[in-house]
Amino acid sequence: MINLNRLAMFAAVVECGSFTAAADTLGTTKAVVSFNVKQLEQELSVALLTRSTRRLALTEAGERFYHDCSVLLRQAEAAVAQARSGHASFSGSLRVTASVDYGNLVVAPALAGFARLHPELRVSYQASSTHADLIAERLDVAIRVGPLEDSRHRANPIGHFNLVIVASPALLSATGMPDSLQAMAALPWLANRPGQGGQWTLADPHGKPHTIRVRNVAHADTASALLAFALAGCGVAALPEWLLDDHLKGGRLQILMADHVLPRAEVFAVYPDTRHVSAKVRGFIDHLRAFRPGRA
């Protein structure tokens, strides 16, 4: 029978990059970690790591085994959490990732409020403009906006928001306020990711869809960066409503073709498809679903 502690030590070495760092993380000694990893390799009859004076690297077999270890360790942790889920308070760790802008405005404050409700819980938050690998990075929940691409995980809808098409007064003074979809499409546009096609579909007041093709003059991978471009008059941007209130009220941006709307953006909580979903994950998803920015 393989020792789960040895699997955890091996995973810690991979994630920390050295035996010394893994030992510090686990609260043990480098000798204990090294011994257990060597024993694991002997039990498996395969080399998992290549060692040199400067660095450690996974072998091909080690890379596959690390991925499987991560899954197994998460399942073991979830099973323990499930067994304890009848207790009133949550404990252990909760690791959450989200996109930069929505995460910092909504997810991080919600996570802080959840941590205050459950003081025995250790929370960790990671903001990123790219999708993290939940298994490899041992994350519990990812909050993702827009269409989902990864079907290996479970996903729960937690909300939605509207995208609003805006431009700066400086840009509109040079081009004129568009009075038709064709005129709006002729303006310079900003893309929210590299390689995004220059095509948008809007619904008119009767719900009829209209597709326009636009010319992208710049792109950025966060909504706040697109906002900065739009404020500077670089182009037209489709931005989330929760980012725009102050700028619209202050007249720094104006809404274009307000009677034509883009499809709303869906928000999902994504988590590994394990046999047991921990109570803390379910609890945080419920908390986030009910959360409104400005109050915990």
DSSP state of 86: T
Residues 227 and 221 sit within 8 Å (Cβ to Cβ): no
Average confidence (pLDDT) over 58-75: 88
Any domain includes 295? no
- Given 35, 62, 83, the domain boundary residue is 83
Any domain includes 296? no
Does residue 73 sit in the same domain as residue 103?
Answer: no
CATH code of the domain in which 129 resides: 3.40.190.10
CATH code of the domain in which 32 resides: 1.10.10.10
Does residue 167 sit in the same domain as residue 258?
Answer: yes
Does residue 24 sit in the same domain as residue 102?
Answer: no
- Given 56, 83, 110, the domain boundary residue is 83
Does residue 124 sit in the same domain as residue 270?
Answer: yes
Which pLDDT does position 200 carry in this prediction?
92
Does residue 101 sit in the same domain as residue 242?
Answer: no
Residues 267 and 141 sit within 8 Å (Cβ to Cβ): no
- The half-sphere exposure of 65 on its side-chain side, counting CA atoms within 13 A, is 21
Average pLDDT taken over every residue of the chain: 87
Any domain includes 126? yes
Q: Give yes or no for residue 195 having a pLDDT over 70.
A: no
Does residue 278 sit in the same domain as residue 150?
Answer: yes
Considering only CA atoms, which of 84, 103, 85, 142 is closest in space to residue 272? 142
Q: β-pairing, 141-145 with 265-272?
A: antiparallel
Residue 3, Cβ neighbours under 10 Å: how many?
12
Does residue 259 sit in the same domain as residue 271?
Answer: no
Which pLDDT does position 198 carry in this prediction?
81
Does residue 144 sit in the same domain as residue 273?
Answer: yes
Which pLDDT does position 226 carry in this prediction?
94
Domain that holds residue 218: 163-263
* More confident: 134 or 102: 102
Does residue 245 sit in the same domain as residue 234?
Answer: yes
Any domain includes 120? yes
Does residue 177 sit in the same domain as residue 259?
Answer: yes
Least-confidence region, from 117-121, 135-139, 253-257 = 135-139
Which pLDDT does position 1 carry in this prediction?
66
Which pLDDT does position 38 carry in this prediction?
92
pLDDT interval class at 108 (50, 70, 90) = very high
Q: At what angle do helices 30-44 and 19-26 cross, to 10 degrees?
A: 110
- Given 49, 83, 117, the domain boundary residue is 83
3-state secondary structure of 152: coil
pTM above 0.85, yes or no: no
Least-confidence region, from 128-137, 192-201, 282-291 = 192-201
Q: List the strands of the sheet with 237-240, edge to edge.
A: 237-240, 163-167, 254-255
Calculate what percentage of the chain has a pLDDT beyond 70.
Answer: 90
Does residue 129 sit in the same domain as residue 201?
Answer: no
Number of domain units in the chain: 3
Q: Give yes or no for residue 274 having a pLDDT over 70.
A: no
Residues 6+ apart with CB under 8 A from 22: 9, 12, 13, 15, 16, 33
Q: Give yes or no for residue 16 having a pLDDT over 80.
A: yes
Does residue 10 sit in the same domain as residue 70?
Answer: yes
Which pLDDT does position 272 carry in this prediction?
82
Q: pLDDT (tens digit, 9 = 90+) per residue, 74-98? A: 888 777 766 655 444 578 889 999 9
